[in-house]
Amino acid sequence: MGCKVDVDDLAHGISALFSETIIQPLSQFFQSLSQDGWIVLVCFLGSAVAIGYVLGRARSHDETEYQNRGEALVSRVVLKNLGPPNYHLVNHVTLQMEDGTTQVDHILVSRFGVFVIETKNYKGWIFGDAKQRNWTQVLFQVKYR
């Protein structure tokens, strides 16, 4: 025994319910606002956006130490698959060079060797080598340095 549902009737019912419970009350609310009410609403929404931005930026220390998603992903994968006691991961190491400093994304130390990992999280074609100061990214026939 099957159950037949008319999809058009179901969609119309959901649309009517949505309109009655959300759209109409919102419309009435906005129409009833005075100029002072609009000012209060705009200030409230602006404050909510600012607070949301600040709270969104206040992440845990582990997340903020990464410069991009690619670095965070590499760190998570390495820690999940190559953890202690055989492997030890160090992230974001700054080294003093003759002409300034350089930053290394990840150094994985183990009894099997020391692995230096530089992470790039780019799409498209990437052109460059270890001695070049700038690399070029080609994405949709547009070049970025």
Residue 115: the pLDDT is 92
With cut-offs at 50, 70 and 90, classify the pLDDT of residue 17.
low
- Res. 7: pLDDT tops 70: no
Q: What is the pLDDT of residues 79-103, one digit of tens each?
A: 999 888 889 999 988 888 888 888 8
Residue 89: the pLDDT is 92
Residue range 67-79: mean pLDDT, rounded: 86
- Residue with more model confidence, 98 or 29: 98
Q: What is the pLDDT of residues 106-126, one digit of tens each?
A: 999 998 899 999 887 777 888
Q: Give the CA distances from residue 54 to residues 48, 50, 72, in Å, rounded to whole numbers and listed in that order.
A: 10, 6, 21
Sign of the Cα pseudo-torsion (118, 122, 123, 124, in order)? negative
- Res. 63: pLDDT tops 80: no
